[in-house]
Amino acid sequence: MAKRGFNIDPVTLRSMPFWCVGNPLGDPFGGPVLPKIDSLEVAELLAEAAGEGLIEATSFHDDDLVPWDPAKPEDDLDPKSETYAKLRAIKRVLDKAGLKTNVATCGLHGDKLFRKGGLTNPDPKVRALAKKKVQRALRIGALFGAKHFTYWVARDGFEVPVNVDWKNVYKWLADGLNGVYDYIRKMKFKNYIGATIEPKPNEPRGHMFLPTSGHAVGFIYGHLKHPEFYGVNPELLQHESMTLLNAVHTVGYLTSMKKLFFLHFGSQIKGQFDNDFPPLIGPEGLKETVQMFWALRKIGWKGVVEYDCHMLRTDGDPDDPIGCRRAFIRDCTRALAMALLLADRLMDFDPAGMRDAEADLTATAMLCRLDPKSIRSWMTTVPGL
Ligand code: XLS
Ligand code: MG
């Protein structure tokens, strides 16, 4: 039973979402590598990981748990519906394992109805449908005791700027997100401690309406009626690295604004499409990841780290779709442990009086546990210099 928090600074809980474990590993050039598995099977895998002390929490989109039928927007409330029974079956598995729910989010990207956007869709009927779907996701989140509701920009974006109603588009978005707050209050849901915006620069749209954490914070203060309720969950390294931003900078800024509600965590090659590599996997980002945790500890931030990634397509094993998913969960938790241990090596680092290059090399030597004597002996051919 995963009863205790993780509590290794700065991480209070580790969350592994349904969509990461369930991901069948399709990409634009090839179909899924893994067979789809049922949400109850994903719940079982998560419960097993909790039993092994690897995770303490999970998260989901409404669609990760139960299918959505636009003709039945309130099926979750009907005790005779399959949705009602399935949600409760999943909840029993999570509860038994002691797994908490960090995020409930609404899938506004999968269904072709939302191909031109969800909350910012130019068609008022589709916007209304998106709001109904968000309300259903909020009710499902309440059933699971979710701590946050997350809005990630999904298909709210554009390819053709001259075909966007710029006068209204951010008003529609504000209307949708103010609606989240109002619905939580109206329904008297007590589980939500806040809601978050998850920015992303592009993908699936050419440009998204809230591309970076800076845009998200500005939007919260400029447009939302209850800015105190809203924060940001940046996805680091992925989303901000896609536009060549730096994770240490992002957490420094968001904590200074008191808007870092939790982290989405994985790895990324800078400037590329959303790689969603598991943490520390891939050719770059080790220093940035470690320095991000170092900065969070220096700042004194504590909170949830939620993996948001999927196993490498090359690691998907169609003959062992459960086994490779187990390995993926272990890889993520191993990488986080490694990143935290490496950040710990930097905690006594004091750059006072150092030049920039000197500070960076000294920190890197500490990170790699290279002792100054060995470095010197391989540096110069003149002994004792
Ligand atoms: C996609 C996002 C998405 C959100 C949850 O790039 O990371 O997975 O985190 O909807
Ligand atoms: Mg994410």
Q: Which helix or strand (DSSP H or E) is residue 60 part of?
A: strand 57-61
- Residues in CB range of 121: below 8 A, 6 or more apart: 114, 127, 130
Pocket test for ligand 1, best of 198, 205, 232 (most atoms within 8 A of CB): 198
pLDDT of 91 reads 98
327 Cα–ligand 1 center, Å: 21
Structure tokens belonging to residue 58: 């999970």
Structure tokens belonging to residue 276: 């969603």
Nearest CA to ligand 1 atom 4: 152
The tens-digit pLDDT sequence of the chain (385 residues) is 444 679 999 999 999 999 999 999 999 999 999 998 999 999 999 999 999 999 999 999 999 999 999 999 999 999 999 999 999 999 999 999 999 999 999 999 999 999 999 999 999 999 999 999 999 999 999 999 999 999 999 999 999 999 999 999 999 999 999 999 999 999 999 999 999 999 999 999 999 999 999 999 999 999 999 999 999 999 999 999 999 999 999 999 999 999 999 999 999 999 999 999 999 999 999 999 999 999 999 999 999 999 999 999 999 999 999 999 999 999 999 999 999 999 999 999 999 999 999 999 999 999 999 999 999 999 998 877 7
- Residues in CB range of 13: below 8 A, 6 or more apart: 5, 6, 56, 57, 100, 102, 304, 305
Nearest CA to ligand 1 atom 10: 152
347 Cα–ligand 1 center, Å: 31
61, 109, 239, 264: which is the annotated catalytic residue? 61
CA-to-CA distance for 124 and 20, rounded, in angstroms? 32
Q: Could you count the other beta carbons within 10 Å of the beta carbon of residue 379? A: 10
Q: Which ligand is nearest to the CA of 155?
A: 1
Pocket test for ligand 1, best of 149, 152, 272 (most atoms within 8 A of CB): 152
For ligand 1, residues with CB inside 6 Å are 61, 105, 152, 198, 200, 235, 264, 274, 308
Is-catalytic flag, 61?
Answer: yes
pLDDT of 2 reads 41
105 three-class SS: strand
CA-to-CA distance for 102 and 134, rounded, in angstroms? 17
How many residues are listed for the chain in this entry?
385
**How many Å from the N-terminal Cα to the C-terminal Cα in the chain?**
57
Nearest CA to ligand 1 atom 5: 152
Atom index in ligand 1 nearest the CA of residue 203 equals: 6
CA-to-CA distance for 378 and 295, rounded, in angstroms? 31
117 Cα–ligand 1 center, Å: 15
173 Cα–ligand 1 center, Å: 18
75 Cα–ligand 1 center, Å: 25
DSSP state of 260: B
Nearest CA to ligand 1 atom 7: 308
62, 63, 64, 76: which is the annotated catalytic residue? 64
pLDDT of 5 reads 75
Is-catalytic flag, 64?
Answer: yes
DSSP 190-254: -S-SEEEEE--SSSSSSEESS-SHHHHHHHHHHH-S-TTTEEE--EETHHHHTTT--HHHHHHHH
pLDDT of 314 reads 98
13 Cα–ligand 1 center, Å: 19
Q: Which helix or strand (DSSP H or E) is residue 376 part of?
A: helix 372-377
Pocket test for ligand 1, best of 18, 60, 63, 105 (most atoms within 8 A of CB): 105
